[in-house]
Amino acid sequence: MIEAHVTIPSIKAAGFIQFLIDTGADCTTLTPADGRRLRIDHTKLTTEDHSIGYAGSTLDFICKGIVTFSEIGVVEYEYDVDLRVTKPDPGIPELFMLPSLLGRDILNRWQLSFDPKAMTITANVLSCDRSNSLNLRGG
């Protein structure tokens, strides 16, 4: 899991999300549990698309989002994405138990390395839409 800050400017939703790194996912997706945490009003989302994934067939909304990763005290990396927001479906209660997915729309811009002994994944950022250097050390 990796934490990122997600912003959806069109509906003024923002917050931190824990993502599952999913090299099989075409795009980054927020599941209903995280949509609830961000207080997303699904009635304000208009562009719909169906997707098939680990939860079966779901209805998603597509909206412009910004996903920001921080290397604490060093730099922030921002990605502009067509974020998928899975619509809550009472007929599929397991949607509320699944993690949001970090997909290849961002992962293809990183070099990933897995260390099985340490059980860690390291990402080397190859590109991003914006980066902000942080200098938190005083003068």
Reduced to 3 states (helix: H, G, I; strand: E, B; else coil), residue 131 is strand
Tens-place pLDDT, residues 81-129 = 999 998 887 777 777 788 999 999 999 999 999 999 999 999 999 999 9
Q: Identify the pLDDT of residue 6.
A: 97
For the chain, percent of residues with pLDDT exceeding 90: 68
Cα 112 to Cα 56: distance, rounded to the nearest angstrom: 27
pTM: 0.88
Tens-place pLDDT, residues 37-81 = 999 998 898 888 877 766 667 788 999 999 999 987 789 999 999
**Pairing verdict, β 56-71 and 48-53:** antiparallel
Enclosing H/E stretch for 35: helix 32-37
